[in-house]
Amino acid sequence: MTPVLFAIGNVFTTPRPPRSDSDPLRYLPARLERESLCVMSSDESAEGRTASDERAVPAASALSETVATPVGLAALEDRAAPALQWNALVSRRAVLTEIWDHLPIWFFYLEAVGLLSFLAANVPRSEFERVGLPIAPFAWTVAFPLFWVLAYYALRVRGSTRLAVYGARKYLVLVAFVALPAFIWLLYAAAPFLRFELEMRQLTRFFEAMQLAWIAVFMVHVALKRGAPGLATFFGVAWLYGLVLENGGILMGYFFEPGYGLYLGGLPAPFATMMGWCLAIYACTEIAGALRSYVPFGETTLGAALLTTALALSLDAQLDPLASLSGVFWRWNELLPRWFLSVPFVNYLAWFCAFLPFSYAWFSIADRTELGSWTKARRLLVAIPNVCVVAALLFFGIAAIVEGGFSGPTYRILGETFSKIRPY
């Protein structure tokens, strides 16, 4: 990624770095002081001083006073500050600190760019011909998560005091966020010979490896930022919730996830997709917590829950169209009609119904400052059964309304599942 992309690194919370040996302003006061002393070092009481010397000393003294005063030094520092500050902003340490401190939103961005690159470079073109759609609409889904990245950093850039010296130019940072995915798309469109198509099994294993890598990074991040209670919440309680959702959808026959390398016992859902709920829940709740004060009703529990759900849907709006191509990552029941880019409507309905009650329960507990971290984790765990019931009622209730009754594909699949488990 370009240095411009990371220009915002550490610009909001980190104080101005100490002067280094290479800083030209480091030696400016001492240099001015030496020059002033040299001019004024002659003995003013000597009677043999010439008239030209007498004229030079007051002039030099006046120059020294105007430049070496604190006001003069401050003016010089202000003129040099933008260039020096820029070097600090794009330093490796500043960039890495920025990414780590705001990892949830960077997960949105890196996941969006990564999926776009994956789509443009590795997915066989025959897959798009099979669904009867061009690749361009799939590529445009990067706009969904990218919207939240731009909103997040537009607010941070606007409130930055350290970027104020750049005026309107500071918003070029947002252009850099858009430039990278645009470059990736144009690169493979102009040079298709750079593409390296993978087989279906390779695509699935690559996705699984990336998911497991993100899981490891997020576990470290949560452990360092939130400690053991945070791990228990987002990789304990949230994982249990994801386990119920992912395996429940498979057991009821709505979708299937074969071809992965790592499964837990006899569970039909792979480990990577179950843990994927931990990533999505943590990232979306963290970003919603940062943005909720800027959104109408965001400070309310319901407002924060709706914001979290919107974030989750934007993340899935890019992932699922790619994942559903010929069952690359998962396969949908044939009874489900395709909706958005060959993805059934019930998929997005399921995400809405899964995130809304969970995030409502989370914010209703997390906003209570009198509770300790472990108490919040325990209360969220106790709330999970109720959350699952509410999620199921929402899902099947809205499905009945959308499908015009109980004879639609959602209930037909449910009926087939029950007919298989009935003993008679």
Confidence of residue 213 (pLDDT cuts 50, 70, 90): very high
| Highest-pLDDT range among 161-170, 186-195, 225-234 | 225-234
Range scoring the smallest mean pLDDT among 150-154, 193-197, 212-216, 370-374: 193-197
* pLDDT of 5: 41
Residue 72: per-residue pLDDT: 56
pLDDT digits (tens, 9 = 90+) for 37-48: 443 444 444 444
Q: What is the mean pLDDT of residues 105-134?
A: 90
> For residue 327, what pLDDT is reported?
63
Whether the per-residue pLDDT at 69 is higher than 70: the answer is no
Mean pLDDT of 58-82: 52
- Tell me what the mean pLDDT of segment 18-39 comes to: 41
Which residue, among 31, 87, 32, has the nearest Cα to 63 in the 3D structure?
Answer: 32
Which pLDDT band, with edges at 50, 70 and 90, does 35 fall under?
Answer: very low
Per the model's pLDDT, the better-predicted residue between 70 and 306 turns out to be 306
Report the mean per-residue pLDDT for the chain.
82
Give CA–CA dist 162/81, Å, rounded: 10
Q: Give the residue with greater pLDDT, 69 vs 350.
A: 350
Q: Return the number of other C-beta atoms located less than 10 Å from residue 68's C-beta.
A: 17
> What's the number of CA atoms in the CB half-sphere (13 Å) around residue 255?
27
> Does the reported pTM lie above 0.95?
no
Residues with Cβ within 8 Å of 267's Cβ and at least 6 positions away in sequence, in order, are 243, 247, 274
- Tell me which long-range contacts 270-275 makes (C-beta under 8 A, separation of at least 24): 270/208, 271/212, 272/207, 272/208, 272/211, 272/212, 272/215, 273/211, 273/246, 273/329, 273/330, 274/239, 274/242, 274/243, 274/246, 274/247, 275/211, 275/212, 275/215, 275/235, 275/239, 275/242
Q: Is residue 15 scored above 90 in pLDDT?
A: no
| Band of pLDDT at residue 424, cut at 50, 70 and 90 | low
- pLDDT higher at 159 or 387: 387
